[in-house]
Structure 1
Amino acid sequence: MNQHNTILQAMTDTGMIPVFNHKDIEVSKSVLKSAYEAGVRVFEFTNREENAFEVFKALKIYSEQFEGLYLGIGTIFTVSDAQRFNFAGADFIVSPALIPEVAHFCNMKGMLWVPGCATVSEVFQAKSYGAKLVKAFPGNLLGAGFIKAIKSIMPDVKMMPTGGVEPTEENLSEWFASGVHCVGMGSQLFDKKIIESGQYEILQEKINATIALIKTIRS
């Protein structure tokens, strides 16, 4: 099984990819550790803070101790950023948009890349560039109906909504009923107050409960 399929399988197994960024390296490490201990095996750090590259490099080294954990980078708009993070050891690359040159770079490097798409044309384009997983973004604007429509005409496309996905039974049931491969979850999962006060055991419980909820919904 090649690494692409291994990562996709890990995404299927938990059904949820945490999407996180923070400018503090120690906070980021604690969040990653909590997520791993809660059952997360694929984690997306995003390139949003000015020092994101430094934090990611430290996080990548730190993550080596967690067996079976894949750490990717999100919010990638340019080939130069894709290059830097590839060099830093990112396991996969996620973009908010469909960017042909990033697609070509990742294909050349044999890296799993996940483009953000919001129309049928973009999803088709992503598929023709060889995307194995497509991010429906922004998820809260597109809704589960968008996933259903895509799956009805391109049933083999794996979709991951990100943006506005909530860790509630009602919201997750709707997404999984539409046929998503997994969901990306950011601010709804990572309560700023909990992180600021260092209550990582509460964070771990929340992530664990979300993974358990997804398992229940799917069965």
Structure 2
Amino acid sequence: MAKDRLAVLSAIIEQGVIPVFYHPDVELCINVIQACANGGAKCIEFTNRGDFAWEVFKDVTKHFKKADPSVIMGVGSIIDAPTAALYIANGASFVVGPLLNAEVAKVCNRHCVPYSPGCGSASEVNYAHELGCEIVKVFPGSCVGGPEFVKNILGPLPWTKLMPTGGVDPTEESLTKWYKAGIVASGIGSKLITKELLAAKDFGAIEKKVAETIALIKKIRGK
């Protein structure tokens, strides 16, 4: 069962960065996600990228329900309603997609699960609001205009909560540009959980990198 919708939204905003991750090995996923959680990133976006990915997600989610219930498992790369329903049935507490799909929004709303669709225009952002999306994903962040896109959206739509993925680096320079533009959170994948760290299974380094990134975001926010 998904966690409380409002609690999840608050956790995403407070955390500020969502690690985006997929691997077909359940044990490796568990270790990476625990490292992220230990570093302060309790909300994780598991991407629906591989064959039978939902089965890996199910096993990982069942593990954390017992081992560390504070972990909030979300799913990304969702483009259709049946897939969203499958992941929600297996414990997804938030759903993220590269595009905006009204049927996915309906499924998520029916289960009181936050949905963050990928949007790249004011019209898409506005439609996402009409569908009940509290946090809208900007995707691909670097291609639709970067931080300037955020500023331009927040001008006419100042109530918007934006979360870019793609084009956000875990560096002070990149994070400063995005958060000063007005985003509430960001999704970072391989630049946060790098191939090198995965290959070395250096979970301590992953924890450290996540913690440093969250600390940077707090510094930029003035907290």
After TM superposition, is the score higher than 0.5?
Answer: yes
In the alignment, which residue of structure 2 is the partner of 1:24?
A: 25
**Superposition deviation, residue 105 in structure 1:** 1.5
Contact 2:9 2:114 in 1 (8 A): no
TM-score norm. by structure 1 comes to 0.96
What is the Cα-based RMSD across aligned positions, in Å? Answer: 1.2
1:11-50 aligned at under 5 Å gives the runs: 11-50=12-51
Structure 1 residue runs of 5 or longer lacking an equivalent are none
**Superposition deviation, residue 114 in structure 1:** 0.9
**Is the aligned partner of 1:218 residue 2:221?**
yes
Q: 2:108 aligns with which of 84, 106, 109?
A: 106
1:43-192 aligned at under 5 Å gives the runs: 43-64=44-65, 65-142=67-144, 143-192=146-195
> Structure 1: how far apart are the matches of 2:93 and 2:82?
16
TM-score norm. by structure 2 comes to 0.95
Q: Once the two structures are superposed, what CA deviation does each residue of 1:11-54 show, in whole Å capped at 9, x if it has no partner?
A: 12221111111111111111001001001121110000112111
SS in 1 for 2:18: strand
SS in 2 for 1:140: coil
1:9 counterpart letter in structure 2: S
2:33 counterpart letter in structure 1: L
**Superposition deviation, residue 81 in structure 1:** 0.5
Contact 2:105 2:115 in 1 (8 A): yes
Q: Once the two structures are superposed, what CA deviation does each residue of 1:103-155 show, in whole Å capped at 9, x if it has no partner?
A: 11211222211111011110010011111110000011120011111111111
Structure 1, 4-13 or 169-178: larger mean CA deviation: 4-13
Q: Once the two structures are superposed, what CA deviation does each residue of 1:172-196 show, in whole Å capped at 9, x if it has no partner?
A: 0000001101111111101111111
> Structure 2: how far apart are the matches of 1:92 and 1:14?
14
1:60 counterpart letter in structure 2: T
Structure 1, 64-73 or 82-91: larger mean CA deviation: 64-73
> Structure 2: how far apart are the matches of 1:104 and 1:14?
26
> Structure 1: how far apart are the matches of 2:88 and 2:12?
20
> Structure 1: how far apart are the matches of 2:108 and 2:206?
33
Aligned length: 218
> Structure 2: how far apart are the matches of 1:216 and 1:107?
34
**Superposition deviation, residue 7 in structure 1:** 1.2
Off by >3 Å, runs of 4+ in structure 1: none
Aligned-residue sequence identity (percent) comes to 38
SS in 2 for 1:159: strand
In the alignment, which residue of structure 1 is the partner of 2:7?
A: 6
